[in-house]
C-alpha cells in the first residue's frame, strides 16, 4: 500500500507500507514531513518528477531508518516527488523520471530475469556488449568451451570480462613488460609492492584487502561490556590500526558528477569498513583533476585553447556537483570530508591538444580499527557467505570492461553501464569476505541479503 503526503509546496511524499497504516502513526509522519498532510487519494494525476522505481535513493534509506527509530513500523520505502504546472519540466534523466500518475504501482518492479543464452561466437558477443576482451582472452574462452564440451553462457563470458578487466585485475600493472626486446624481471605492480616488502616498518596489512592498515597507538575504548545485549559501559585498552584508502571514480563522475563522486566516497568508506574483520571510517578527502573550468572570464591562461564540446558534463559542472556529492555521502555516513585538492590542465603541442578530459576523481580516507581484527580468517568449505545488495539492473555491471578502454570508444549506452560501478562490481568480493565473519553489519547497511554455500 502506498500513501501520499502533500506539503502544499509542490512536493509529494510517497510512503510504501507493507500493510495498513496505523492511525497513531499518521501524526508522526506528518510531523516528520514538516507538516505535510496525508491525502485520501489512492492515486494522483498531473506532472511529477521523481526517482526511478528501480533505484531506491539514499534519501529513502535514511528516511525509512528514521521512521523505524521513531517506532513507526511497516514502511519499506519513502520517496520525494515534485509536481509541476508545465508539461516538460527540466530534470536529470539519469536518475529521475517524469510521471503523469502516482499510483499504487509506483514502487512495483515486475521485470523478469532474462533467460540464459549460450554464445556461439565469443568474438561477436564481445563486440556487441563492449566487453573489451583481447584476442588472447577470446582464444582462451574458446578453449574453455572446448574443455567443457559446451558453449559458454552470456553470464560466464560477461563475468570473465569484468573480473579479468583492467579495473579488477590491473592487467597493465600486472603485465609483463618488454623494453628494447628485453623482458623486464618485474611488473609495475611488483615494483609497487616491493617497497613494502623490503621496508614493512609499521605496515600490518597491504595488498590483501581494498585498504591498507598501519600500526596505530595503544588506545582506550569506552563502550558497553557486551554488544549483543544492554550492558554497562567500561573502558578497555586495545592496540589500534590506522586505515588508509583511496578510491578512483573517474568515469561515473564524468557522467553524473554528484552521484558519481558520492559513490566514490561511499566506495572508500565501504572498503575501509570491510578491511580485515571490520574497521571504522573517520575522515575523508577528495581529489579532482579536470580540464579548465573557465569559471570566470579573467583567467587569461584558460584562453589559450577553445573549450571543446563536452560529451557528458562540463568541467565546471563536475567540480561543483562532484564536490557536493562527495561531501553529501560522507555526511550521511557520519564521515566529514575535511580536505582535498583540484588540478586543471590543458595544453597544445603542435596540432595536438591535451587535457584532463576524462575526469579524475579520487576519494580517500582514514580510519581506525583493532589490530587483532586486521586480517581475515581463512574460509572453509561449508561456510556461509552473505552477498549484500539489492535489486539492480545492468547499471554498474559493465564497469570493469569500461575501465579497460578510453572514453568514447564504446557507445554511450554501453559506457553508462559503468555508472555507480563500485557498489556492484567485483569489489563485492571484499565486502562479502567481511560479512562472512561479521554478519551483524549486513542488517545495518543493506536491506537485502542472499545466502549461498561455499563449495570446492
- The CATH number that applies at residue 439 is 3.30.1330.10
User: Would you say residue 171 lies in a domain?
Assistant: no
Is 388 among the domain residues? yes
Nearest to 395 by CA among 361, 428, 420: 420
Q: Which residues of 125-142 are buried (b: 16+ CB within 10 A; e: fewer)?
A: bbeebbbbbeeebbeebe
Question: Does residue 181 sit within a domain?
Answer: no
pLDDT score, position 77: 96
Q: What is the C-alpha separation between 276 and 367, in angstroms, rounded?
A: 13
Number of other residues whose CB lies within 10 A of the CB of residue 268? 33
Backbone angles phi, psi at 159, to 5 degrees: -60, -40
User: SS3 of 333, please?
Assistant: helix
pLDDT score at 168: 74
Q: What angle do CA 331, 334, 337 make, to 5 degrees?
A: 55
Last residue of a domain, one of 68, 85, 102: 102
* 227 & 96 share domain: no
Q: Which of 66, 82, 102 is the last residue of a domain?
A: 102
Q: Is residue 124 pLDDT above 90, yes or no?
A: yes
Q: Does residue 155 belong to any structural domain of this protein? A: no
315-333 vs 257-273: helix crossing angle, rounded to 10: 40
Query: Where residue 36 falls among pLDDT bands split at 50, 70, 90?
Result: very high
Q: Is 158 helix (H, G, I), strand (E, B) or coil?
A: helix
Q: How many domains does the chain have?
A: 2
Contact 195, 433 (CB under 8 A): no
Instruction: Single out the residue in 102, 134, 167 at which a domain terminates.
Output: 102
Q: What φ, ψ does residue 400 adopt, rounded to 5°? A: -60, -45
Alpha helical stretches, state H, 149-213: 154-163, 166-169, 171-174, 188-198
Task: Indicate if 94 and 204 belong to the same structural domain.
Answer: no
Give tens-digit pLDDT for 142-163.
999 999 999 999 888 988 888 8
List pLDDT tens digits, range 350-408: 888 888 887 899 999 999 999 999 999 888 888 887 766 544 444 445 555 555 555 55
Instruction: Say if pTM beats, i.e. exceeds, 0.75.
Output: no
308 within a domain of the structure (yes/no): yes
Over 90: is that where the pLDDT of 121 sits?
A: yes
The whole-number pLDDT of residue 420 equals: 38
* 83: containing domain: 2-102
Residue 399 in any domain: the answer is: yes
Higher pLDDT among residues 454 and 317, named by residue:
317
Whether 252 maps to a domain, the answer reads yes
> Has residue 180 been placed in a domain?
no
Amino acid at each position: 500500500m502506498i500513501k501520499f503526503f502533500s506539503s502544499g509546496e509542490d512536493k509529494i511524499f510517497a510512503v510504501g507500507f507493507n500493510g495498513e497504516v496505523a492511525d497513531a502513526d499518521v501524526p508522526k509522519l506528518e510531523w516528520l514531513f514538516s507538516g505535510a498532510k496525508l491525502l485520501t487519494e489512492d492515486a494522483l494525476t498531473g506532472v511529477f518528477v521523481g526517482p526511478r522505481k528501480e533505484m531506491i535513493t539514499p534519501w529513502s534509506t535514511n528516511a525509512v531508518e528514521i521512521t523505524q527509530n521513531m517506532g513507526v513500523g511497516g514502511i519499506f520505502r519513502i520517496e520525494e516527488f515534485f509536481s509541476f504546472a508545465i508539461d516538460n519540466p527540466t530534470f536529470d534523466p539519469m536518475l529521475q523520471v517524469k510521471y503523469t500518475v502516482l499510483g499504487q504501482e509506483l514502487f512495483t518492479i515486475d521485470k523478469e530475469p532474462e533467460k540464459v543464452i549460450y554464445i556461439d561466437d565469443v568474438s561477436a558477443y564481445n563486440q556487441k556488449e563492449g566487453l573489451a576482451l583481447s584476442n588472447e582472452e577470446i582464444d582462451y574462452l574458446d578453449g574453455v568451451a572446448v574443455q567443457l564440451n559446451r558453449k559458454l553462457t552470456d553470464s560466464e563470458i560477461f563475468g570473465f570480462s569484468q573480473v579479468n578487466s583492467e579495473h579488477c585485475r590491473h592487467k597493465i600493472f600486472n603485465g609483463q613488460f618488454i623494453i628494447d626486446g628485453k623482458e623486464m624481471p618485474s611488473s609495475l605492480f611488483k615494483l609497487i609492492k616491493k617497497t613494502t616488502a623490503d621496508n614493512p616498518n609499521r605496515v600490518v596489512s597491504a595488498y590483501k584487502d581494498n585498504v591498507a592498515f598501519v600500526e596505530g597507538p595503544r588506545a582506550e575504548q569506552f563502550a558497553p561490556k557486551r554488544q549483543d545485549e544492554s550492558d554497562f559501559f567500561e573502558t578497555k585498552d586495545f592496540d589500534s590500526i590506522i586505515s588508509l584508502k583511496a578510491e578512483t571514480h573517474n568515469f561515473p563522475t564524468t557522467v553524473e558528477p554528484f552521484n558519481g563522486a558520492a559513490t566514490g566516497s561511499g566506495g572508500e568508506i565501504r572498503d575501509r569498513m570491510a578491511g580485515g574483520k571490520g574497521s571504522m571510517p573517520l575522515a575523508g578527502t577528495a581529489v579532482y583533476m579536470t580540464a579548465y573550468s573557465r569559471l570566470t572570464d579573467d583567467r587569461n591562461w584558460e584562453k589559450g585553447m577553445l573549450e571543446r564540446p563536452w560529451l557528458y558534463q562540463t568541467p565546471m559542472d563536475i567540480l561543483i556537483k562532484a564536490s557536493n556529492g562527495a561531501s553529501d555521502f560522507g555526511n550521511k555516513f557520519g564521515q566529514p570530508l575535511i580536505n582535498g585538492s583540484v588540478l586543471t590542465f590543458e595544453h597544445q603541442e603542435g596540432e595536438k591538444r591535451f587535457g584532463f578530459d576524462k575526469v579524475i576523481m579520487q576519494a580517500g580516507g582514514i580510519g581506525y580499527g583493532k589490530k587483532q581484527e586486521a586480517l581475515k580468517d581463512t574460509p572453509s568449505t561449508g561456510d556461509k557467505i552473505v552477498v549484500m545488495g539489492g535489486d539492480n539492473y545492468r547499471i554498474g555491471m559493465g564497469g570493469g570492461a569500461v575501465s579497460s578502454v578510453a572514453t568514447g570508444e564504446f557507445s554511450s549506452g554501453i559506457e553508462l553501464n559503468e555508472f555507480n560501478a563500485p557498489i556492484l562490481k567485483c569489489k563485492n568480493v571484499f565486502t562479502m569476505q567481511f560479512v562472512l565473519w561479521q554478519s551483524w553489519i549486513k542488517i545495518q547497511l543493506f536491506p537485502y541479503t542472499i545466502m549461498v554455500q561455499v563449495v570446492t
